[in-house]
């Protein structure tokens, strides 16, 4: 026999009496009953639940008072029960309909606890009990609801540990599982997709990030992976294609001295003294520690974090409103990251490429660590702004503070120039000598193999010597360091803009390269 579908809609108050008359007549045929979006008040008539065939009841957005009739448990065919945004009190009644798919009791004044029987409704897809005064724990039976897609329990007084419903996080919807699991909350919810602050008058929430194993692990692993990938690509490109006729892009004719920054303590990785290397290690460690401190401050699972609630989950919708900054703010952040960190990324890539080309691990490690710290700075800036920023200006302010940490290596160098200028200048001279020596060894190795790589380097040396001869000696101040003459500055120039030129021992090695060129040519 073909199914009979009877629907009853009462959208205007003047038709309510007619609806009640029809209800008495059709109590054995009625399947759909809706009184939503009216100004009805009073108690919900128990006669409504005598319609045994009812599948949908929608009484939302009215002014009904009293309690939800217990006769609702008699409706065995009920699929949707929507009694939201009313003034109902009392407890949640027992519901035994195994066909129930949608249960909306949000935005009332319900009290008591959540019945465990709700965890046996196997077909339940959507359940919203938010914005009530429900107490107690979330029933562990909820983890057995395999079809559950939305579970919203925020703005209540729930406590304890919420059951693990990991599949809710797999839906990709941040509104899927919401509860009051914010800062210092008595409710712990590891499976929630969003946590709210019960005490916030603006009813703000925040997306809950699932950091497994931890946020620090990913803060280190992501920059490590992003640094390793270009390193591997460069190694394959340089080592496999550098000798082919079509590999002009992979040729590296840059002087070693042109790819390091003498105004940064990161150049001390090439220092001959252990003290210089320890300065490098200490600076890199402090910089990383500061970045990780901001990463921890971005962790929603940390009660002492700076994590801000910037999403509004109101009582009139299942969807929350994101109060994060506009896209223009993130565009500004991208521009700042490129301007502040672009040079470091390029220098890091050049150092790794040079290290692979001349087979020097020290130059390669220097570039790799520089790239790692630079990516960590960018990653931290983005993560901290996601957790904290609500306006475009906040994004810019947070980014400037974080990117300032990226310049600590240069600030430390300025401090060393003031505290111990002689020692610092000696380190710079030894670093330049060390780098030239590395290139010299590579030239000798290539000449022994007959590759003739020394030509480009010798040409660069000759050009450097010609340029150095054109300098006016009267405008230079010289300091004697370990029997080597090192130019430490130019008269009338501030100390912060010191420039260093090659010592006499470096020039001697360069002349040796010139002799080597003549020998190879014969």
Q: How far apart are CA 405 and CA 287, in angstroms?
A: 7
Q: Give pairs for 449-455: CB < 8 Å, separation 24+.
A: 452/520, 454/513, 454/516, 454/517, 454/520, 455/517
Any alpha helices (H) in 101-152, and if so which ranges?
none
Task: Tell me the percentage of the chain whose pLDDT exceeds 90.
Answer: 33
Residues 6+ apart with CB under 8 A from 82: 36, 56, 57, 58, 59, 60, 102, 104
Which among 5-9, 38-42, 73-77, 131-135 has the top mean pLDDT?
131-135
Any alpha helices (H) in 160-241, and if so which ranges?
215-241
Q: What is the mean pLDDT of residues 35-63?
A: 89
Strands 476-481 and 484-490: antiparallel
Helix, coil or strand: residue 65:
strand
Q: Which residues pair with residue 82 across a beta bridge?
A: 58, 104
Structure confidence at residue 489 as a pLDDT band (50, 70, 90): very low
CB 75 within 8 A of CB 49: yes
CB 305 within 8 A of CB 195: no
Q: What is the mean pLDDT of residues 83-98?
A: 91
The answer on pLDDT for 66 being more than 70 is yes
Q: What is the pLDDT of residue 515?
A: 55
Question: What is the distance in angstroms between the CA of the first residue and the CA of the last residue of the chain?
Answer: 106
CB 188 within 8 A of CB 336: no
DSSP letter string, 401-466 = HHHHHTTHHHHHHHHHHHH-HHHHHHHHHHHHHHHHHHHHHHHHHHHHHT--THHHHHHHHHHHHH
Q: What is the mean pLDDT of residues 105-119?
A: 93
Q: Which residues pair with residue 147 across a beta bridge?
A: none
Q: What is the pLDDT of residue 172?
A: 76
From the list 193, 242, 223, 352, the residue with the least C-alpha distance to 292 is 223
Strands 30-34 and 56-58: parallel
Q: What is the mean pLDDT of residues 260-274?
A: 88
Q: How far apart are CA 179 and CA 433, in angstroms?
A: 63
Q: Residues, the chain, total?
A: 522
Considering the chain, tell me which residue range(s) the CATH 3.80.10.10 domain(s) occupy: 1-101
195-209, 212-226, 371-385: least confidently modelled range: 195-209
Q: How far apart are CA 414 and CA 495, in angstroms?
A: 9
Residue predicted with more confidence, 169 or 138: 138
Q: What is the mean pLDDT of residues 43-49?
A: 86
CB 377 within 8 A of CB 259: no
Q: How far apart are CA 249 and CA 237, in angstroms?
A: 10
From the list 219, 212, 205, the residue with the least C-alpha distance to 190 is 212
Residue predicted with more confidence, 521 or 224: 224
Q: What is the mean pLDDT of residues 291-312?
A: 82
Q: What is the mean pLDDT of residues 138-162?
A: 92
Q: What is the pLDDT of residue 418?
A: 93
Arithmetic mean of pLDDT over the chain: 78
Could you tell me the fold of the domain covering 1-101?
3.80.10
The answer on pLDDT for 361 being more than 50 is yes
Q: What is the mean pLDDT of residues 261-270?
A: 89
Give Cα separations from 403 to 57, 281, 310, 341, 382 (angstroms): 57, 20, 24, 8, 11
Q: What is the pLDDT of residue 62?
A: 94
Q: How far apart are CA 337 and CA 403, in angstroms?
A: 8
Structure confidence at residue 474 as a pLDDT band (50, 70, 90): very low
Helix, coil or strand: residue 122:
coil
Please, is 222 exposed, middle or buried when counting C-beta atoms within 10 Å of its C-beta (0-12, 13-18, 19+)? Answer: middle
Task: Tell me the percentage of the chain whose pLDDT exceeds 70.
Answer: 76
The answer on pLDDT for 403 being more than 60 is yes
pTM: 0.68
From the list 14, 9, 108, the residue with the least C-alpha distance to 63 is 108
């Amino acid at each position: 026999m073909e199914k009979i579908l009877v629907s009853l809609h009462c959208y205007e108050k003047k038709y309510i009496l007619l609806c009640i008359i029809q209800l008495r007549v059709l109590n054995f045929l009625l399947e759909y009953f809706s009184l939503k979006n009216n100004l009805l008040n009073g108690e919900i008539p128990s006669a409504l639940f005598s319609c045994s065939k009812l599948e949908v009841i929608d009484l939302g957005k009215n002014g009904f008072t009293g309690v939800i009739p217990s006769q609702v448990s008699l409706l065995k065919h009920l699929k949707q029960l929507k009694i939201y945004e009313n003034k109902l009190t009392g407890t949640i009644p027992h519901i035994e309909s195994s066909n129930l798919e949608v249960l909306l009791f949000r935005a009332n004044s319900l009290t008591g606890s959540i019945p465990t029987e709700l965890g046996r409704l196997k077909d339940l897809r959507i359940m919203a009990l938010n914005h009530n005064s429900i107490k107690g724990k979330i029933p562990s039976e909820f983890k057995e609801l395999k079809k559950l897609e939305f579970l919203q329990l925020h703005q209540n007084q729930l406590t304890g540990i919420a059951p693990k419903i990991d599949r809710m996080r797999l839906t990709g919807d941040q509104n899927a599982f919401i509860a009051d699991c914010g800062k210092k909350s008595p409710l712990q919810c590891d499976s929630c997709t969003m946590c709210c602050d019960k005490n916030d008058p603006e009813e703000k929430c925040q997306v809950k990030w699932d950091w497994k194993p931890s946020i620090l692990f990913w803060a280190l692993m992501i920059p490590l992976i992003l640094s390793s990938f270009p390193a591997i690509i460069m190694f394959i490109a340089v080592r496999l294609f550098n000798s082919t006729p079509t590999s002009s892009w992979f040729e590296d004719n840059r002087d070693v001295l042109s790819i390091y920054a003498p105004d940064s303590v990161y150049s001390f990785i090439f220092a001959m003294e252990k003290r210089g290397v320890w300065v490098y290690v200490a600076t890199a460690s402090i910089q990383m520690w500061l970045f990780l401190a901001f990463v921890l401050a971005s962790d929603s699972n940390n009660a002492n974090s700076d994590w801000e609630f910037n999403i509004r989950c109101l009582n009139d919708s299942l969807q929350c409103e994101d109060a994060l900054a506009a896209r223009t703010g993130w565009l500004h952040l991208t521009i700042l990251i490129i301007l502040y960190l672009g040079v470091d990324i390029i220098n890091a890539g050049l150092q790794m490429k040079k290290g692979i080309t001349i087979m020097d691990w020290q130059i390669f490690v220097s570039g790799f660590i520089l790239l790692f710290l630079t990516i960590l700075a960018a990653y931290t800036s983005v993560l901290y702004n996601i957790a904290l920023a609500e306006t475009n200006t906040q994004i810019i302010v947070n980014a400037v503070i974080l990117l300032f940490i990226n310049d600590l290596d240069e600030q430390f160098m300025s401090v060393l120039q003031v505290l111990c200028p002689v020692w610092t200048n000696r380190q710079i001279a030894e670093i330049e000598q060390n780098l030239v020596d590395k290139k010299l060894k590579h030239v000798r190795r290539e000449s022994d193999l007959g590759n003739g790589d020394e030509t480009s380097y010798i040409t660069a040396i000759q050009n450097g010597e010609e340029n150095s001869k054109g300098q006016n000696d009267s405008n230079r101040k010289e300091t004697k360091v370990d029997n080597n003459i090192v130019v430490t500055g130019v008269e009338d120039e501030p100390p912060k803009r010191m420039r260093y030129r090659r010592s006499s021992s470096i020039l001697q090695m360069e002349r040796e390269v010139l002799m080597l060129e003549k020998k190879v040519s014969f």
